[in-house]
Structures are given as structure tokens and as C-alpha cells.
Amino acid sequence: MAAEAPSPAAARVVVTERRYLSRQTRRTIAFYTFIAPWLAGFLLLGLGPMLIGFLASLTNYNGVNLDTLQFVGLRNYERIFTADRDLGLAVSRTILWTMLNVPIWLVASFILALILDQAVRARGFFRTVFYLPSILPIVAIVWAWRVMLGQNNGLLNGILSITRGAPVAEIWLGGNNAIYSLTVISVWAGLGSGMIIFLAGLQGIPESLKEAARIDGAGAWRVIRHVTMPLMTPVIFFQLILSIIGSLQQFTIPMILAGGQLGSRPPDSTYLYMIHVNLQTFASQRFGYGMALIWVMFVVIILLTVIVFWTARYWVYYEADIK
Amino acid sequence: MATEIASAPPDQAAAHQVHPHQRERLALSYVVLIITTIFLLLPIVWLVLASFKSDVELSAFPIKVLPEVWRVQNYIDAVTMIDFPRYAGNSVVLATTNASLTVITSALVGFAFARIEAPGRGRLFGLVVALLMVPAVVYVIPQYVVFARIGLVRTWWPWVLWGISASPFHIFLFRQFFSAFPKELEDAAEVDGCSLFRIWWQIFLPNAKPAMAVSFILAFVWVWGDWFSPLLYLTDANTTLAVKLANAYVDPFGNPLITVTLAASILYALPLIVMFFIGQRYILEGVVTTGLKG
């Protein structure tokens, strides 16, 4: 402020004014100054591109040339629902994949957390081992699973060969199996972080509540069913939403498995929606169309989130005074 | 309550009856824990063993568990076949730069949300929380086009800008952490005429080392492991290990050299594993605080 002041007199006025700014005004200025990097980033790198993406979805933009750019109205959106041969495949695979991944991950990590919430030995050891895969970079994870599930050099086929007494060359990472392998890899990589979050939730449940139920004669299962589960529903709810959103956007594992280039096309079994988006945008250079696909996905995710939030009133248990 | 149980023999009998059930349940728990441990560790152990084999040995029938000769050569090839030091260096610089900036700006923004009351704060924090759930697809690709238009693709600038603009996840982490600080801490400083910036820098930051450690490690792990952004943005010269690892190790005919890539994968994952074991306690707490996967 002082740097812009034209004369010492004016500067003095600014200084006196500042002294009379109320404490609250000064704090408000400080607050907005402090959050400015984030707010600017959100507007310029988040909201801005988002809107540009939407505008691009109304054009034939190819991602490179602006001279050939034409406004095409809703034609890209029309095309999605009428003329995209691969779309049906992408949508059905994405739904199947999400329906496999979300429940398996959610139930498995919840059960692990329940187990570790008991008085088991070496709890710290198990916690560390379970979390370890979550820290590994995705490319390394994919390589590890390539030699687990590979056709000619995989451990699984190796073990099956021994048990069957003849060479087994099942294609786990391709054909119809690919989507199940993808689920295994994804659950493997995410089990630990899910377990950690559920475990923290479980440890926040007051022992007195469980004790009270036990004194009333409830067995272990009924304590879980009628005390633990209801109190855990807010955590389950949050994890459910995040894992649905994450699953719908999956593309990295199939893309790396397919060769790890922008144009790599995985087997039909794992031809997920976001892979379709990437291929359309980068390999086919239909940027405008890719953006339309993305906005359809965005709206679907928002709708799904709203629906899950709406169902929350029937199964999520909020009672402030228990915590 | 305890005396009540002690004075009532039937209850005590009931308590004794529960015991075998409990033992059974614990036994079952250990079985599940051990099976899960095998499931989670087997691919890692197998990866390590395979990285010391030859490609022929890897596809031997029947399978061999241990390598005949431990081929350290795979690791030497991994480092020399591609310019490994350069790509590792790129990964280190990118991850360190982005993580450092993320920690500093997120700590500042998180401090503002936790300690400075101002009109609009509640709503803006609501926005931060909502952004945790906004699917990245909606801005990732258009953001790339924006960066391309202003000439920042093929450079590391996007990582700098992503760092400076903080991230909702890290802001949330710091906000939760700073909210727990006692009010007296800043009151005394404020009476002495200390500016809010100095209060943050000299009082809050030095006391936020655990949160800073989590934030740094999680940001570092994210950039180090991120495969798509460098693939999209960077060139063969300034890209990261993640991109090279996906398909760079091939023989002169273009066939993948699997065991060499496995050795490279281990070298590539090792820094994260070391970081994890050093900062384990903080990382797990951080994941728990935000309720999110890193």
C-alpha cells in the first residue's frame, strides 16, 4: 500500500487509517490474503479449466488448432447418445467394475478393521503390513501383478500347473478375466488405507456403550450389529461415496497394463469410461467430444452423490451427543 | 457394576461360558489376518525374488521359487540401460519442489481457516470440503489445454503452480491440526503486537512438525507415484521414473525385459518404502485425520 503512495503526506494518511482499522477488519484482510494462493489456484486451475472444458464441449476443438474451431451446439452430446459405438461397452464395463470394486473393498477393509479392533497380538505389525501396498507407486504395483498373473511367467499359473500336473496358460490379465484381475489389484492396493480409516472410527466408539450392551446379554455379533455398525455408518457413508467416485474415474491400471501410452487400448473387459475419454481426446484428437463425455460423467457422478446423500437419512446414524 | 457381577454367581457363570466363544473368535481372527498378510505380501515378495531371476527362469515350468543364481546384473542393467539417474533426479526434484510448496501454502491456508475468523470463512471451508469430493476428471484434461495454451507444457511449472495453489486435502489436514491449538498461544502474541503472519510462522509452524511431515510425505508419494501427469505434460528428457518404468526397458527387438524392469521397479519403490517406515506413525494418523487415502 505504502509503495503506491504518491507523497509522504498521503502515506501518512494511509498509516493513520491503518491504525484505525478495526481488529476484525485487519483479521478479515489477513484471512483473505492467507487463503489467496488457494483461492487463485481454485479459480484459475480448477473452476476456469472446468468451464473452458464445458465451452470446448460445445465445439469441434481438436486440442491443437484454434483456426478450425467451430461452435457445434449440442452435437457432441447428441453423438454420445446416438452414434458412439464404444460407449455402451465403456458404460457397462464401468458399472460392472464399480459394482465389483466398491463392495468388495468396503466389506473387506471393514472386516479387517473389526478384527484388528479386538485384543489381537502384533496389531502394529498387521497394521503396517496391511498399509504397505497403499504406499507403493501404481506402476510398480502393476509390474508386481504382471508377474503374479502373467500368462507364461505368472506365479498363479505356475501354482495351478503344479496342482494340475500340466502347464496352465490361463490369460488372467486379458479376455474376460481382465476385469476380475483389475478388481484384485485395486482391492490389494486399497485395502490398507480403507482398514486404517475404519479402524480409527472403531476406536472412537466408547467402550462403555459396547460394555452396556454386553451386560444386557448381547453376544459379540449383536454388539457389532446393534452398537458398532450404527455408530460406524457415518464413516461407511463417507468411504462409500469416495470409493464410488474413485472407481468411476479409474483408468490408470488398465492403461498401464495395456502398454502405458496415451493411445493404449486395454482389452474390452476393462474398457472403462475414462479410457474411452482418453482415447477419444488424445488418440483420436476429438477434444471437444472428449469434454462432452467428461461432462456427462461429471453430471452422473454428481447425481449419484446426491442419491447416496439422500439415502443417508435411512441408514446413516447421526447422534451428536454420543461422541 | 463390577461389584454387582461379583455378587451374582449366575452372571459369573455366564461370563465363563463366553470364554470359549471368544477364544474361537480370536482363532478365526488370526486365520483371517494371516491369510490377508499372505495375500498382501506375496506379490511384493514374489516381485523381489523375480527381480533376481533371468527372464527364462521366470517362465520356467515347473516354477522355481528361488533364483538359481541371484542376478544382481538385473539391477545394474536397470540403472544403466536407460538414463536412470536422470529420471530419478527428475522425480526427486519434482516431488520435493511440489511437496515443499504444498506444505507451506496448505499450512498457511489451513491456519487461516482454523484461527482467523472472517466473514465468508464457513462457506469457503465448505467449498474446500466439497472439493475433496469433486471428481478430478472434470478439470484434469482441460487444465492441460490451459497449460498448453500458455506454453507451460513440457516444463515443470505445472508442478510448481499445483504446489503453490495448495490442495484441499492438505488444507483440511492443517486446519484440523491447528484447530486443536490453545487460544492463549496466539492471544499473548497478538497483545504484544505480533502480526498474524508472524504468529503463523514463529508459533504455529514450529509446533506443526508432525502435520508437516505427513503433508510432505503424502505429497511426495503422490508426485513420485503419479504416472498420468508426467505422461501428459513432460517430454522424454524431463519426465519422471514413473513414465519410463511403464515401458522403457526393451531388448533391441522391442520385447520387454521383464526382470530388469522388476529390478527397476524395486529401486523406484524403495524411497517410498523407506519414507513410510520412517514416518509411519504420522502418516497413518494423517490418513485417519482426513479420512482420505493419500
pLDDT digits (tens, 9 = 90+) for B47-78: 999 999 998 898 887 888 899 899 999 999 99
Nearest neighbour of A30 by CB, restricted to B22, B119, B196? B196
- Restricting to B residues 238-267, those with a Cβ less than 8 Å away from any Cβ of A are 242-243, 245-247, 258, 261-262, 265-266
For residue A248, the chain B residues in CB contact (below 8 A) are: 135
Nearest neighbour of A137 by CB, restricted to B143, B268, B291? B268
Reported for A275-282, long-range contacts at CB under 8 A and 24+ positions apart, including other chains, are A275/A90, A275/A251, A276/A86, A276/A87, A276/A90, A277/A251, A277/B137, A277/B141, A278/A251, A281/A63, A281/B141, A282/A63
- The candidate with the shortest Cα–Cα distance to B69, out of B56, B84, B87, is B56
Closest residue in chain B to residue A302, using alpha carbons only: B134
- Whether B276 contacts chain A with CB within 8 A: yes
CA A20 to chain centre: 49
Q: Name which of A62-66, A179-183, B246-250 the model is least confident about.
A: A62-66
For residue A53, the chain B residues in CB contact (below 8 A) are: 138-139, 141-142, 145
pLDDT at residue B19, rounded to an integer = 64
Cα–Cα distance, B64 to B46 (Å, whole number): 11
pLDDT at residue A319, rounded to an integer = 61
- Whether B150 contacts chain A with CB within 8 A: no
- Restricting to B residues 6-35, those with a Cβ less than 8 Å away from any Cβ of A are 18, 21-22, 25-26, 29-30, 32-33
The complex's ipTM works out to: 0.87
- Restricting to A residues 78-97, those with a Cβ less than 8 Å away from any Cβ of B are none
Where on the phi/psi map is residue A65: left (φ > 0), alpha (ψ -120 to 50), or beta?
Answer: beta
Tell me how close the Cα of A181 comes to any Cα of chain B, in angstroms.
Answer: 13
- Whether A219 contacts chain B with CB within 8 A: yes
Tell me how close the Cα of B236 comes to any Cα of chain A, in angstroms.
Answer: 13
pTM score > 0.90 for this model?
no
Tell me how close the Cα of B206 comes to any Cα of chain A, in angstroms.
Answer: 18
pLDDT at residue B230, rounded to an integer = 95
pLDDT at residue B284, rounded to an integer = 76
CA A208 to chain centre: 35
Cα–Cα distance, B254 to A141 (Å, whole number): 22
pLDDT at residue B2, rounded to an integer = 38
Work out the number of other CB atoms within 10 angstroms of the CB of residue A175: 12
For residue A116, the chain B residues in CB contact (below 8 A) are: 33
- Restricting to B residues 163-182, those with a Cβ less than 8 Å away from any Cβ of A are 164-166, 171
Q: Cβ(A273)–Cβ(A290) under 8 Å?
A: no
pLDDT < 50 regions, chain B = 1-17, 294
Q: Got the DSSP string for A167-232? A: -----SSSGGGHHHHHHHHHHHHHHHHHHHHHHHHHHTS-HHHHHHHHHTT--HHHHIIIIIHHHH
Closest residue in chain B to residue A39, using alpha carbons only: B165
**Cβ contacts of residue A96 below 8 Å, gap of 6+?**
A179
- B160 or A320, greater pLDDT: B160
First to last CA, chain B: 44
Identify any residues that bridge with B3 across adjacent strands, giving them in sequence order. Answer: none
Cα–Cα distance, A154 to A156 (Å, whole number): 5
